[in-house]
Amino acid sequence: MKNWASVDPASIPMIKTTEMPGPLSQEYHKRCSTYMKGYSSQVRLFPVVFDSGFGYTLTDVDGNKYIDFSSGIYVTGLGHCHPKISEAVAHYAKTLMNCHDFTTKVKMELMEKLHEITGGRFGGFQLYDSGTTAVEAGLRCARAATGKFEFYSFWRDFHGKTLGSVSLAVVGVDSHMRAPGFYLAPRPNPYRDAFGRSKEEALKDSTPYINMLENMIINESTGNVAAIVFEPIQGWGGSVVPPDDYIPKLRALCDKYNILMFADEVLTCMARTGQYLAMDHWNTTADITTLGKGFGNGFPVTAMCVSKDLAPAIEKISASSSYGGNPMACAAALASIKVIEEENLNERSTHLGELFLKRMEEMKERHPIIGDVRGKGCLLAMELVKDKDTKEPFVDGGKMVYQKAFQKGLAWVPSGHILRLSPPMILDDEVALKGLDIIEEAVDETEKYFGY
């Protein structure tokens, strides 16, 4: 496949500086970090300063050019600066930047297109400017619709960084800030099955997890559970894909106890997994769904979508926001959906996922520190272990592989011993394989360093 962003594979990556990150990156980051605090692990491990992006490449201030396997952390899945999306945003940046939540023509068109691509299954939408804001609105909507106040969510899911969203997860230093009324349950991780089964066995049956969750609801909650909130496929937790029977059984459990099903698709939507919604892989619809990240291909636009039965509940909360649904945001989202349609990017994402997983499985067989590879579409991960039998996490190895690959010209995402890959769906096959070559070189060097 050749597309608007295709470049000569021989020209990338291109590393010009002997030191990585280069001298200008080091200078600019030092000056910025004097004031800017709270950087992600991505930046702390490799503080490069980017200058520009085009398609599936990034260029830093020193002129080094990288293959992008990060997409701005699952955001620019349609490529950096896609001309149709950039032009759509620029038009409204020059015409009408904000008019609060008044209807605009582009908002009307986005609502109609969103209704179309989701098969008419939702009865109400509201637009926001961040994933966590959309999740918070979903929580309030669930409480307004049910009159209940408790929530269940899952270990190692991620839902955002405001109070309600943080309360749905245990993520780093914010974990002690969880509010009352929020409960956490285990969810399937086939590679690290909580019931001691092999990955192959765990992939066949998620019933033990459903039974455990049901017992927790009965014995822990007060009987006022408004919703069960989850990522269809985990992102921060390491691109963990559940067994195929899990999502339908979770839907059945919600229905049994009259609990709303809340799918947080901020990370998994808009062709990232090969579907507009990851839930479509299991032919299941949630009562509340949140969209984000790739929804506007980098422009901050997110959405809360609710079923037809829940649409009146949106009117019971203060749903609007200052920036949500502004004309630039609507234009970015509408243009992004049209690009996915025109360039067949759901199909492209599915193809790339198969290409990546085939090659990653081969790498796993060759390397003692690669314990597991997994994913769906362009949402992938490689888990490093010290020993394949004990599965002890290899955190230092993960850091080193991440840094070495970045030094060689691959931009991607760490998560401790789990290395996450979220390449743009427009990636050409030859460049995809070249990026994987870089990862394998980094794995080789790391194994030699640690004496494997």
> Which amino acid type is present at position 159?
H
Q: At 399, is the secondary structure helix, strand, or coil? A: helix
Under CATH, what is the fold of the domain 83-342? Aspartate Aminotransferase; domain 2 (3.40.640)
| 362's tokens | 């081969």
Per-residue pLDDT of 77-117, as tens digits, reads 999 999 999 999 999 999 999 999 999 999 999 999 999 99
Pairing label, strands 225-230, 150-154: parallel
Distance, CA of 214 to CA of 439 (rounded, Å)? 41
Q: What is the pLDDT of residue 178?
A: 82
| 102's tokens | 């008044």
Q: What is the biggest distance separating any 2 CA atoms in the chain, rounded to whole angstroms?
A: 63
Kindly state the average pLDDT of the residues 294-314.
96
The confidence band for 3, taking pLDDT boundaries of 50, 70 and 90, is: confident
Q: Report whether pLDDT(1) > 60.
A: no
Distance, CA of 398 to CA of 393 (rounded, Å)? 9
- H/E element, 367: none
Per-residue pLDDT of 199-239, as tens digits, reads 999 999 999 999 999 999 999 999 999 999 999 999 999 99
Q: What is the pLDDT of residue 179?
A: 86
Inter-residue contact 294 to 269 (CB < 8 Å):
yes
Inter-residue contact 67 to 56 (CB < 8 Å):
yes
Inter-residue contact 426 to 351 (CB < 8 Å):
no
Per-residue pLDDT of 116-127, as tens digits, reads 999 999 999 999
| 198's tokens | 């092999």
Q: Is the pTM of this model over 0.85?
A: yes
* Of 115 and 174, the one with more pLDDT: 115
Q: Report whether pLDDT(303) > 60.
A: yes
Kindly state the average pLDDT of the residues 311-319.
92
Nearest-10 Cα torsion for 445, 61, 235, 398: 20
| Domain 345-414+431-452: CATH superfamily, name plus number | Aspartate Aminotransferase, domain 1 (3.90.1150.10)
Nearest-10 Cα torsion for 415, 72, 119, 151: 40
For the chain, domain boundaries: 6-68, 83-342, 345-414+431-452
- Cα distances from 293 to residues 59, 69, 94, 106, 154, in angstroms, run 21, 15, 24, 20, 21
| Conformational region of residue 27, where left means phi above 0, alpha means psi within -120 to 50, and beta covers everything else | alpha
Q: What is the pLDDT of residue 174?
A: 65
> Which amino acid type is present at position 304?
M
CA 90 from chain centre, in angstroms, equals 26
The interaxial angle of helices 246-256 and 207-220, nearest 10 deg, is 30
Any bridge partners for residue 59, and if so which? 52, 65
